Amino acid sequence: MIGSFARVLAALACASLLLTACSNEWFKELAYRDAAPRSLEIPAAETVAVADLSPDAQAALRAIALRLHGHDAAAVDAAAAVTGSALVSPEPGFTYQGFTARRVKVLDLAPAANPGDEGSIRALLRFDDAAGRSAAVSVAARYRKEAQGITLTEASYRPLYAAHPRTELLIVPAQAIKDGLGEAADSYAELRALAEREAVAMRDAAATDPAGKEYVAIAFLRDRVGPGATVAMRLSDQRQGVRGYEDQTRYLAFEPGWGAALTPGVFALAPDQAFWIKVVYDPKDTVPGAGHGERVIGLYSSAPAMAAK
């Protein structure tokens, strides 16, 4: 069932994810204790808009978010009306450029009423980008209210990861990948744009192709995964379980925590020749309470109009 065009993916090697978490003892105690296995899935009813927070709490969160985006500390201080944003260092190897903090879940809030008073905030931030990706961060800050703005006295953050990250599967004619992979292989956004533009309309029965041809199945992660977590894509005639064929699969890593699994093959897209495509994930120790062990996070059929997660 599975064919090969190894030269297309010869340059793609499985790459490990990089350690990006920042930590200190105060933050471990204060900010991370409430991180849950599904911390990315912040219910809308429990979130607030940043604009609804007190100005000092807004300033603290904005300073942290801007530093996560990689902005210089002096520029952040000026933009957010704070002093001390240098307490927060951007993640090594990844900034949140292109991501917008759209949801805030406040865990603890003690606003400062008057100049000289101290305040604090502890919250979960969810960032989304135009490609539909999401990332979450637990943040904590203590600050002193000034006549103009605030001074951060302690601030830190930690990336959070989902126990069951969302996935997206696109099946693309191999020739389109061969033609475009050279320019798209270094960027999640560019590879996804290429795949989305050329993908078979798997929810349309008219896309049925009983003859079979060379395709590439590409599974994209839509939520960020942690350092050391593993992702695999396996093909199987069995719907249940995590087992399947994966000898041809390659995992392409982009920024730490983001990647795509690619499996080339020669196969038909037809109900009578359908098989299952499984995206399998093991969070290792990156998600508190989620434990070890592989689990299927995406299950798709190779038959058009049957392709369901």
pLDDT digits (tens, 9 = 90+) for 233-258: 999 888 888 998 888 788 888 888 88
Other C-beta atoms closer than 10 Å to the C-beta of 267 total 21
Q: Residue 11 pLDDT more than 60?
A: no
- C-beta separation of 198 from 178 below 8 A: no
Rounded to whole angstroms, how far apart are CA atoms 24 and 154?
A: 11
| Residue 264 vs residues 7, 33, 119, 242, 257: alpha-carbon distances, Å | 11, 42, 55, 19, 23
Quick one: fold of 41-160?
Answer: Nuclear Transport Factor 2; Chain: A, (3.10.450)
199 SS3 class: coil
Q: Residue 308 pLDDT more than 50?
A: no
47 SS3 class: coil
Taking residues 224-238, what's their average pLDDT? 89
259 SS3 class: strand
Taking residues 71-78, what's their average pLDDT? 92
pLDDT at 251: 86
190 SS3 class: helix
pLDDT at 272: 84
Of 20-24, 288-292, 305-309, which one has max mean pLDDT?
A: 288-292
Q: What six digits make up the tokens of 94?
A: 């990844």
Pick from 3, 18, 52: nearest CA to 254: 18
Helices (H), the chain: 6-9, 25-30, 55-68, 73-80, 174-184, 188-198
Rounded to whole angstroms, how far apart are CA atoms 262 and 9?
A: 9
Gap between the terminal Cα atoms of the chain: 22
pLDDT at 20: 24
- C-beta separation of 225 from 165 below 8 A: yes
Rounded to whole angstroms, how far apart are CA atoms 32 and 150?
A: 24
Strands 150-160 and 82-83: parallel
The domain ranges of the chain are 6-16+164-301, 41-160
| Pairwise pLDDT comparison (236 vs 31), residue with the higher score | 236
- Cα 142 from chain centroid (whole Å): 28
* In the chain, % of residues over pLDDT 90: 29
Q: Which of 27-31, 130-134, 255-259, 278-282 shows the lowest per-residue confidence on average (mean pLDDT)?
A: 27-31
**Secondary structure in 3-state letters for 89-106:** CCCCCCCCCCEEEEEEEE
Q: What six digits make up the tokens of 157?
A: 């953050």
Look at the alpha carbons of 48, 51, 55, 60 in this order and tell me if their dihedral is positive or negative: positive
- C-beta separation of 147 from 115 below 8 A: yes
pLDDT at 183: 76
Strands 209-221 and 167-173: antiparallel
- Cα 224 from chain centroid (whole Å): 2
- C-beta separation of 260 from 221 below 8 A: yes
Of 10-14, 208-212, 232-236, which one has max mean pLDDT?
A: 232-236
